[in-house]
Chains A and B, each alone.
Chain A
Amino acid sequence: MTVQPIVQGRGIVKRYGHVTAIDHSDFDLYPGEILAVIGDNGAGKSSIVKSICGAVHPDEGEIKIEGKPVHFNSPLDARDMGIEIVYQQLALSPALSIADNMFAGRELLKPGVMGKVFRQLDKKAMEDFARQKLSDLGLMTVQSINQAVETLSGGQRQGVAVARAAAFAKKFIIMDEPTAALGVKESRRVLELIQEVRSRGIPIVLISHNMPHVFEVADRIHIHRLGKRHAVIDPAKFSMSDAVAIMTGASEAPPIEDQQLTPKVA
């Protein structure tokens, strides 16, 4: 049986002058899974992820989305295909409201003349949609959808960013260190949120340094080392220290048959 991967990258290369950030790396994301990407600093994990969403333009190699080769010029192209990214710095405009942030760059216009000719925003529709999406994810603890994002706590902001991604993602979501800046309780909420999103059928690429969080939510772990996909493991079969050892080169990558290059068959 073969499940078609959502994303399939083969032999991806990216060089910056003499530095090879991505060195003939592969990458696979399958439907419905949370794929964690871990790697030491400078291993190129963020480069490989950026290359599948258009933020980095690979020099060589091939990227297929649902079997079709793609060439993204910018993350906007990827976004148009339904690929959403939750950036570590969240990419929220502090002074704008939650609703405005959710619809940043894809605002809804009023129907009829007011929208078509006068380009008037349909604020009510956007607010309703934002409120709906936040409640779906159990995030309606904020007082008002018109609150400025800067008045929210770190966890709430993360929630808005995740809700935005979940609301518009058709293919998959990339999350870059979603818990790095959060406290214990807020991290917990975000991890629950990630699982909530996955349960809606949207696959997630999770970049994180936090091993407990990775092991808790990931279905498979892509270990990146020296610009390459070094191994892909099943968190149920390896310990955190194994993963760290593989990631840092302290131990060899496990033999291919012990790896988890495709999802576990349920």
Chain B
Amino acid sequence: MDNQLKNLRKEIRYKLVEVSHFTKTPHLGSCLSSVDLLITLYWRILNLYPDNPKHAERDYFLLGKGHAASALYTVLAYRGFFNIDKLMEHGKDNSAFEEHPGVNAPPGVEAVSGSLGHALSLATGMAKAAKIQDLGNTFYVLVGDGELNEGTIWEAAMFAPAHQLSNLVLVIDFNKLQGTGESCNIMQLEPLDEKFKSFGWFVKRVNGHCLTELEDAFNQCKLQQNKPSVVIADTIKGDGISFMEGDNNWHYRIPSQEELPIIADELGIS
């Protein structure tokens, strides 16, 4: 992994912690499990135009798990869509940076989010519309494993292969935890790769915190000619901060003043 991405992983993680602490907004654990997926997409995979975010030839990224909005905003800021200082407006009155992205969300956010199970259907419609109009964009959707509980996910999962939507890539942040429990005990998710294979998807299952594995998987998705792709990323909720990893309390907890230097130290932030 090159130094740029190595530093970004640390800096973005620490910025997420700071935003959560100073703006008193939750879902840090969910952001940390997604962050490497977003870094890979935004620095290695997506065709982007940060100075012209509505460029017709861009690739689209839709966030299904809207509660990880802070991760998306932070990645967009570091990728140059807007000033990093703006992130501290998160969750404030009259801010574009709502805790779930709304219609006034900052540049680079493609759709509203917050109600689970919508983004895959939206992106499926967008991908179908691109095929109808012979457009070359690719549509990426990030969902959580808890989000897979929603029925619409499986409606779209049957529609997309029937329409050979090779321009659609689903990314599953499989951190094994949802709001109040272990996702695999609440619903029968496994064998998740077999489920999507049997539905007609091209499936890659990878370590969701290994950027090279992720990049390789996304590049294989780009080669698909007649089926949609899913990257199932095994992730760790709270990844990168030892006392948050796998502790579901960080779905809602806010890091304290005393915890900030400990976290900085762990991440190697000077």
Q: Do these two chains interact?
A: no
Question: Could you tell me which B residues sit within 8 Å of A by CB distance?
Answer: none
Residues on A facing B (Cβ under 8 Å): none
